Structure 1
Amino acid sequence: QFMEFFNMEDMDSKPQHRDFDDLSHQPKDQQKSFLLDIIQKFMKYFGYGLLETPHLIPRRNEYQERVEKRSTILVNGQQFIIQTSEEKTCYKEEDEVYNYCMLLCHWYLHVIEMHDTAKEGDIHRAVLNCKYAIPFFYSHSKLSKYLVENVNYVLQTEHLLSPLQSLRVLEGSFVNTIGGKGKCVESDLVQEHSVCNQKSLIRSLGANKTEKSISRATASADAIAEICSQMDNCLQIKPKSGRHSKTVSVNDQIIVSRELRKIRPFQYISGRKCQGFSSLHPIPVTTENVPNMKDWINHLIRRLTRGQVVPVEEEEDEEEQDDWEED
């Protein structure tokens, strides 16, 4: 995106942006203000940070066309022709590649923002992230349970709870289990890992297990999991992970970068197709869907405030499905 914004062909080429000047001879304060201004223009150009005001996000598929109109009037039996012109909004054919890549970047930036917030245990950004995540979950499904959780979290911490109780909820959202700066994790994630450790021990008990045996086996589930992890580390056994075990090599990055520059995913080219992602938009919620989203959020707020049940999608837990298959 930066190369597209600065009109650069590759990482070694010189930026051709009209506002970009040589800063080597400028003082540091002027360089800093110039770079901040460029970053703001970059974010505005691609619509970052404007999800709450989607009408400000530039639309690449729209263009204005002047249409000439002629009308005839009669004055005292004489015929006059009046010619007027007006601008009409026209729409190009959608660029599905551009829409997919832009939406992917919006999701990615928000995910790493939430990840950084959790690492720092920042209670101030926690509520802001929940508010900013609402359009993302609404675009996925208005019955998403994560949408309800975000709305409920903001509603409780900002309005319904007392200041002291709200602070307790915010501070209890993160926990630091190993110490050190930037080592916080989400409290519910720690609880999920603990439940996962307990389930693995319960499975090992086999059939005909009693409640007392389950309680005895799972009392130190986290300590047992830590011992097993240290043992695997000593034996150089790699743990199961959802991330890549090896970093991407520099050569692979160069190859991918060259291919992306050929495709130009962030340059709007009308008519390009992206198979399987034809219904995506470059932003999570378009301007036309904002009124519907606001109505649905108000509906959720009314039900949550009254303590009523909110309908959500039923998502089958993978671990519960594994338990069912084993049984």
Structure 2
Amino acid sequence: MPEESSEIPESYLQTNVHFLHKEKREKIFHQWTKSILVRFWDLENDESSLILDLKVKIQSTELLIQAPVQNGYAKLNLRKGQENRITMVQIPIALLTIGKSVQLTLNGVTESATRINKETDDIQNYSMCFLQYVFLIWNFMDAIKVGDIFRTNVCLKKMIPLFYCHSELSKYLAKCIDYIQKTEILLSTKMSMKVRAASFINKSGHIGKNKPEDMEKENQVKLLKELIRGLGSNKTENAIVGISKAAPVIESVVHHFDEEAGICELRTTHKSRSLESDLKVMLIKTRELNPLSDQGRSLQSYKGINANPIYSVNKEKFHQVVLRTAQRLRRGQISDETEEDASDIEGGDSDSDDPGSLFE
């Protein structure tokens, strides 16, 4: 029997997928998912595979060079003299901003290198950027449901640069750093495991039914506010204390009554899947748009957006902000007045120069 090819026929991807058996459809789905994830994780290490388009001017000669980036430096191989000797020049990518010229002196000859803006597909970059947020949120939600205390910290570390892109004074940035610092550095091993395990709560005891502990606290506070509001004009201190103590019993009685009476519980999230017609429309539009293809398309609202949301972040400044925040939290200072005020402003200061950031 000849070995079955792993290549996906283009005709199947376009029109004939729904005619295949379930096993083959699942195989195609997993192959496409794997290819998307590979492209997504390549963006995580974007610097190693990044190539910058530079216009180098040597005396009166202009050259267009594609310079690979390694360890934060763009490497140029220039031929000098009649012997065409190759000379390697390294330029920090922090200096290579679009449209700005960098002066170089090589063997007594003054040269200039300017980074030019390469035409990109905004729809493709937006889709890849959106997928990074989606995969991170799904991973975080799954880690919470299964109670994976180690994967939760990994997700929080991934979120730190994203919050920094929004504002270096973001309170969520400080929350992530504070939780990671306490559970991995400051607390003892035993206390760290207690704090991590106490971050989740499972009221039903079923597998994969964990929820964040702070969300449960917020639901309890909401219930107490409703009960206290029901006291009307009888809001005395003793009445509030008594109704607060009786809140779990009242909630249990109301829950069992609604269950026996067949009263549906109102939730803010949908339990049912989308309608089949909506899914078909989405598939048709996605196939027509082909968001993962590079066709040089432009978006007015997200013009020039990068596929990697943290690509334009100044890494040195980012490291300084993280270390400064960690040191402040270690001293027990939760937040400064200026930082607390600035973090409440939508779109605070950030060194991200991405013109099409999703946070805008």
The answer to whether structure 1 residue 194 and structure 2 residue 225 are counterparts is no
Q: Which residue of the other structure, out of 34, 37, 42, is the alignment partner of 1:43?
A: 37
Report the CA distance shift for 1:97/1:242 in structure 2 as closer, same or farther (over 3 A).
farther
Report the CA distance shift for 1:158/1:314 in structure 2 as closer, same or farther (over 3 A).
same
Where relative contact order (Cα < 8 A, 6+ residues apart) is larger, the structure is: 1
Verify the 8 A CA contact 2:53 2:118 in the aligned structure 1.
no
Report the CA distance shift for 1:247/1:203 in structure 2 as closer, same or farther (over 3 A).
same
Q: Report matched runs for 1:298-313 at 5 Å.
A: 298-310=323-335, 311-312=339-340, 313=343
Question: 2: distance between equivalents of 1:94 and 1:229?
Answer: 55
Report the CA distance shift for 1:184/1:315 in structure 2 as closer, same or farther (over 3 A).
farther
- SS of residue paired to 2:41: coil
Q: Which residue of the other structure, out of 52, 55, 71, is the alignment partner of 2:47?
A: 55
Q: Which residue of the other structure, out of 300, 321, 340, is the alignment partner of 1:296?
A: 321
Q: Which residue of the other structure, out of 339, 344, 353, is the alignment partner of 1:314?
A: 344
Report the RMSD for the aligned CA atoms in angstroms. 3.8
Q: Which residue of the other structure, out of 303, 310, 315, is the alignment partner of 1:285?
A: 310
Question: 1: distance between equivalents of 2:284 and 2:329?
Answer: 50
Give the Å deviation of 1:237.
3.9
Verify the 8 A CA contact 1:176 1:183 in the aligned structure 2.
yes
Report the CA distance shift for 1:214/1:135 in structure 2 as closer, same or farther (over 3 A).
same
Percent identity over the alignment?
Answer: 26
Instruction: Give me the TM-score of the superposition, normalised by structure 2.
Output: 0.66
Verify the 8 A CA contact 1:102 1:283 in the aligned structure 2.
yes
Q: Which residue of the other structure, out of 105, 128, 143, is the alignment partner of 2:169?
A: 143
Which protein is richer in helix relative to its size? Answer: 1
Which protein is richer in strand relative to its size? Answer: 2
Q: Deviations over 1:203-237 (max 9, x none)?
A: 11224611211111121324423433443444444
Q: Out of 150-159 and 219-228, give the one that drifted further.
A: 219-228
Instruction: Give me the TM-score of the superposition, normalised by structure 1.
Output: 0.71
Letter in 1 for 2:187: L
Unaligned runs of 5+ in 1: 15-23, 25-31, 73-80, 317-327
Question: 2: distance between equivalents of 1:274 and 1:237?
Answer: 47
Verify the 8 A CA contact 1:63 1:91 in the aligned structure 2.
no
Report the CA distance shift for 1:257/1:63 in structure 2 as closer, same or farther (over 3 A).
farther
Aligned residue number for residue 216 of structure 1: 242
Give the Å deviation of 1:67.
6.8
The answer to whether structure 1 residue 152 and structure 2 residue 178 are counterparts is yes
Aligned residue number for residue 323 of structure 1: none
Q: Which residue of the other structure, out of 228, 244, 250, is the alignment partner of 2:276?
A: 250
Letter in 2 for 1:112: W
